Structure 1
Amino acid sequence: MNYWAIAVWTGVFVIGMFLTYLVRKRREKEANIVNHVLKIVCDSLTIISGTLIASYFLKADEQQFGMILVLLSFIICLQIVFEVIGEPIRKYKITMAILLIFPLSGVFYGTLQFQNNVEAGENQKDTSGATNNYVSLVQNRDMSVREQEGNEIQLSKEDINFYGDFFSLKGKIDSDTYIYGENPSDNTPLFLTKADDQGYFSTAIPRNDVADLSRIDLYVNHISISADDTVYKDKATKPDSQLNIKEIDEKQALSSGSYTVGTDCKAGEYILLAKDTGQINWLNDSSNSKSFDNSLYVKLSENDVIEIQGAEMFPVTKHTAFVPNKVDNGMLKVGTDIESGRYQIKATNDYAIAKKYKDSISNKLEEDSVIDSQEVELKDNEYIYLMNTQLIKNNGGNEK
């Protein structure tokens, strides 16, 4: 917003109001043509400056300003017409009627400007595909658009696996680059994820979303991503990589049952995934139990004896996301499942809660903090547990 312009036009508005008052008083004493014209000019000045101030605060763009100019000119025309009708002297009527030339010119100019801006926008939309090999959106002051090209994606077969009801994909690319997955049969989006500042990316996709597919198309170049994470691409844009669904390996997990760490599985960090509600019990001397919805990160120590109920357990590997993009319930790892940063907290049910953890759940006493504010700052390697709660990133963007 141009505050200097607002200040100038505010000054003009105040001066115009004052001059209008003085001219009106003077015309009451001496009604001649000069006073008539001065009143019309001062009234017009006040109307114009007031309208410009309102346009600045409403952030009117060029097309909107063209419409405002047309309406403004019509208002001034009406003002002059009323002055002419109320004037009893014929020669004064003719002189004041001549002043209609100026607002009518404004109507013509404003209409022409509006039409030119509309045509320019349409031309830009029509020719964007011919001038670029990716979509270039029509200018919009409220939408930031990222256009990607020149990136090379690195994938390893070992990093693409089915895990029960979902499959996990990870790889490496230039930092802060978006990776877009699409169904090639009908071009519907499957996922959109973003590489971290080291270039690592990961996403988890429900098996049902790809059950009927033979492959997934991956795009990192010649696509445009808007502020609301909508992806645009030309029909001629080719995928940078293709995943053959039939060649993705199936990883085995520890399902419901009792296990001894060090014998049945190694010590380390694991994630528990449940279709609905699951539970893990530590059967050590210092027994601990934890129920959860959908997902839970746990840290197992040597000689821990655990019991899993209603869930499957997978070892956590670096840079691998196990939780699908949008969840209202479950535990998320910051820097893997979601980006670090500030998030708004939005309840999706009357009973909603969000807890932040410095570490994953273990057989020790939990160190959590209930989040009772509407915003939270999340840092890499922290954890957050959601129950009937959504996280909305503050940069406008993704709902997690």
Structure 2
Amino acid sequence: MKKILKWGLIAFIGLIIICAIAGGENDNPNESSEPASATATATQEETIVTETANYIVDDGMYKVGTDIQPGEYLIVADGMAYYELDKDSSGNLESVISNDNFTINRYIQIKEGEYLKLKNCKLYAVDKAPELAVKEMYKVGYDLQAGEYKVVAEGMGYYEVAKNARGGVMNIVANENFEGETYITVQDGQYLKLQNAKLK
């Protein structure tokens, strides 16, 4: 009986020592008790919020002058995106002012009483937009200096020079489908759109 009590007492003391060692491993109050993955996720979310905090609206249909203000904006795609600018909310084809599918960006100028529809993209004020390493549409005098440029097609390419960012055929100054290389000249205030092509 005495042997059993003796060994029981030794085991109990040993358990106390193990607990004390285990509890003292994180004595530094500055170290986080959260798992590393939780900390990484929080940091990643903060980065995403910082990058997207300046956008005005994303997917939806908005009335200009009520939901968003008239003016010029940059639309940035989240993958394959679509925008549509309408003169009313009838849903008729006749009400469409301009529309486009795109994968990187578009400039758009909108007026009071019009309707802007966005799908898979975000709308930014031009001066609050994120920095884009590559663009599909350039504002001459802002993204790009006026002058002559060589454009290189990636397969069958397309370029379009427009007098404003309203979209639509009536605003096109010059456009062409081409293969290989071509040259274009752009002026301040114009907009250059490229598809399957890049500036060299």
Match of 1:367 among 162, 171, 177: 171
Greater fraction helix: 1
**CA-atom RMSD in angstroms:** 2.7
Please give the residue correspondences for 1:244-259 in structure 2 after superposition, counting only pairs within 5 Å.
250-259=53-62
Output the CA distance in 2 between the equivalents of 1:357 and 1:341: 15
Cα pair 1:280 1:308 within 8 Å, conserved? yes
1:302 maps to 2:112: yes
1:316 maps to 2:126: yes
Paired position in structure 1 for 2:197: 389
Amino acid at match of 2:166: I
Match of 2:163 among 319, 336, 358: 358
Output the CA distance in 1 between the equivalents of 2:188 and 2:56: 26
Paired position in structure 2 for 1:35: none
3-state DSSP of counterpart to 2:189: coil
Please give the residue correspondences for 1:151-300 in structure 2 after superposition, counting only pairs within 5 Å.
250-285=53-88, 286-288=95-97, 289-300=99-110
Q: Deviation string for 1:50-69 (max 9, x for gaps)? A: xxxxxxxxxxxxxxxxxxxx
Output the CA distance in 2 between the equivalents of 1:273 and 1:248: 12
Please give the residue correspondences for 1:45-64 in structure 2 after superposition, counting only pairs within 5 Å.
none
Greater fraction strand: 2
| Change in CA separation of 1:341 and 1:283 when aligned onto 2, cut-off 3 Å | closer
Paired position in structure 2 for 1:345: 151
CA drift of 1:322 comes to: 5.1
3-state DSSP of counterpart to 1:253: coil
Output the CA distance in 2 between the equivalents of 1:271 and 1:248: 15
Identical aligned pairs, as a percentage?
Answer: 22
**Aligned residue pair count:** 142
| Change in CA separation of 1:284 and 1:374 when aligned onto 2, cut-off 3 Å | same
Output the CA distance in 2 between the equivalents of 1:249 and 1:296: 17
Output the CA distance in 2 between the equivalents of 1:341 and 1:296: 21
Amino acid at match of 1:353: Y
Paired position in structure 1 for 2:142: 336
Task: Pick the structure with greater CA Rg.
Answer: 1
Output the CA distance in 2 between the equivalents of 1:277 and 1:301: 25
CA drift of 1:251 comes to: 1.5
Output the CA distance in 2 between the equivalents of 1:323 and 1:332: 13
TM-score, structure 2 length as denominator?
0.61
Higher relative contact order (CA 8 A, sep 6+): 2
1:379 maps to 2:184: no
Output the CA distance in 2 between the equivalents of 1:294 and 1:387: 10
Cα pair 2:55 2:125 within 8 Å, conserved? no
3-state DSSP of counterpart to 1:291: strand
CA drift of 1:336 comes to: 1.5
Output the CA distance in 1 between the equivalents of 2:119 and 2:102: 11
CA drift of 1:365 comes to: 4.8
CA drift of 1:388 comes to: 1.4
Cα pair 2:109 2:166 within 8 Å, conserved? yes
Output the CA distance in 2 between the equivalents of 1:249 and 1:281: 22
Could you tell which deviates more after superposition, 286-295 or 305-314? 286-295
Any gaps of 5 or more consecutive residues in structure 2?
A: 1-42, 45-49, 89-94
Output the CA distance in 2 between the equivalents of 1:251 and 1:314: 7
| Change in CA separation of 1:337 and 1:248 when aligned onto 2, cut-off 3 Å | same
